[in-house]
A and B are shown apart, each in its own frame.
Chain A
Amino acid sequence: MMRSVLSAVAACCLVAPLVFPSAAAAQTQEVEVDNCRACHLVLGDERLSGPARAFPDDIHEARGFGCVACHGGDATDPGIAAMDPAKGFLAKPDRGDVPEFCGRCHSDAEFMRRYNPSLRVDQVAEYTSSVHGRRLMELGDLKAATCVSCHPAHSIRPPSDPLSSVNPLNVPATCAACHGDAEYMEPYRIATDQLERYHRSVHWEAMSIGGDMSAPTCNDCHGNHGAAPPGISWVGNVCGQCHSVMADLFAESRHARTFAMLGMPGCATCHNNHDITRPTDELLGLEEGAVCARCHSAGDPGGQVASAMRSLIDSLAMAYHEADSILERAENAGMEVSQALFELNGANTALVSARAAVHAFNVIAVKNDVEEGLEIAATAHELGRQAADRIQFRRVGLAVSVMIIVALILGLLLKIREIEHRAPQT
């Protein structure tokens, strides 16, 4: 019996038509008995029973689509005739046909509007422009990713589902299933350490620890259905989606033209790409660890600009931290310094702006912000110093008060003793 069922399935696979029916065929079917699953669940072959077991968690099941919505056939027929090609049955599509198979519905705007009006319907069009799509369709590379590589067939969940393979937190692992497999990727001669490097990045930290689901993951820079390397001519188009101030300043700078001329990848030249760590002031200047020093030295104008900008940033950072420190000590000692701390927020704003202005590679741009911040920090520091002076005055006052009280107690004791000594004589 089992052998006959498997034979029938195999036969159906061989005769499946290459042209798939349109979305109109993929209607929800109100079936009293789903014979597809009833039968497949008891099949011994994991390839045939696995999809039936997984499907209850699939978004398509939740929307009322059964097996026949994609595979055709007749779910009401309990026999092998349910998988008759004459009833529109389609077996498992060839890997190369998967985009077209899914696109029957997902590229049909009118059909998709009925179930999810906000969902885009250009996934297949984007896919054909992707590196994956071009390799599959132009080169016949069946190792290239298709829809089911990222959206596992029969257990597809929406991106908002934490268990979804395309939930932002899971996207890196989904991509790394292929891109982290050195053996699988060997023919393409590209690196396979992206996931390891991404896990060291500030973006992954923001997402995985900070819980910021808008932090960039693979598809935010590479695209999802149209996935491709972002291109090295102007990576700022990618980074600038979020870091627009720095991207705009950089685009107007001398470095943008020089980097383009030398074929250097813009932002990634200094900040790397997958392992983008939290930037620090140490990246600036000519000292050890500074990225400017990779190209510049103290003798050239660029090196002098880098050193000058670093010096300005350091001066404001130090002034800010000194003012913040003295005010914090005063606040902890119980002094009212909230006005000074409030003012000091302006120095932090100036410091953050100055750090962004570094991307113009212009000392004047940095200097304007730094001077404004230094003035605020100096005022706050003076208020902190006055508060510290008041603390000292109060401490001295307390010591004097204690001495007075001790002297009073001592005087009283002596007076009592004197009175006691005088009493017997009278």
Chain B
Amino acid sequence: MLSRTLTTWLLSTSLGGLVLAVLYPTGRYLVPPAAAESASASVTLPFAPDDMQPNSAEIFRFGSRPGILVRTPSGEFRAFSAACTHLACIVQYRGDIGHIWCACHNGHFDLNGRNIEGPPPTPLETYTVNVRDDQIVVSRGA
């Protein structure tokens, strides 16, 4: 008698738990967390091409690393890693001189990402930019 009661309790409790164990992850999957998409190979930027004036730049998130999208004075889009190759400070764009500039140690890069002045030892990593209608997609590699 005791054995039958124990068995029934185990079965009903565990079956109820199993239902919960299935429903909870399903619910969490249907309502995803606030974290944004993982961007290991490419990222769609959260702004449109028309949002950027020529001779300006925007910092964007490429996975966990910062990137910089430059719109050149002629209107062309170019994207690079925004981590300075010297000590990984976040670079910025200087419209007055048309350079990508690291304020930490006054490092300068040209609009091809080449290190042209100051301590940066190597060029910035270059990304591929594709503009599709009102979307800008930045990718690693060619």
Contacts and interface: CB of A to CB of B under 8 A. Distances in A.
Interface of A: 206, 210, 212, 214-215, 242-246, 331, 336-339, 341-342, 345-346, 348-349, 352-353, 356, 397, 400-401, 404-405, 407-408, 410-412, 414-415, 418
Given A338-B35, A352-B87, A404-B17, 10 more contacts: A338-B63, A345-B83, A346-B90, A348-B87, A349-B104, A356-B104, A404-B18, A407-B10, A415-B11, A418-B3
Interface string B1-13: 0011011001101
17 contacts: A214-B115, A214-B121, A242-B118, A243-B105, A331-B64, A336-B38, A338-B35, A338-B63, A339-B35, A345-B88, A352-B87, A408-B10, A408-B14, A408-B15, A408-B18, A414-B3, A418-B3
B71 to A, nearest CB: 22
A411 to B, nearest CB: 3
A117 B10 CA distance: 92
Interface residues of B, number: 37
B46 interface: no
A215 B120 CA distance: 10
Contacts of B39: 338
A411 B7 contact: yes
Contacts of B35: 336, 338-339
A342 B61 contact: yes
Interface of B: 3-4, 6-7, 10-11, 13-15, 17-18, 21, 24, 33, 35-36, 38-39, 61, 63-66, 83, 87-90, 103-106, 115, 118-119, 121-122
- A contact face: mostly helix, strand, loop, or mixed: helix
A132 B7 CA distance: 100
A411 B103 contact: no
A100 B6 CA distance: 109
A405 B18 contact: yes
A245 B119 CA distance: 11
Contacts of A331: 64
Given A242-B118, A339-B61, A400 B11 contact: no
B89 A349 contact: yes
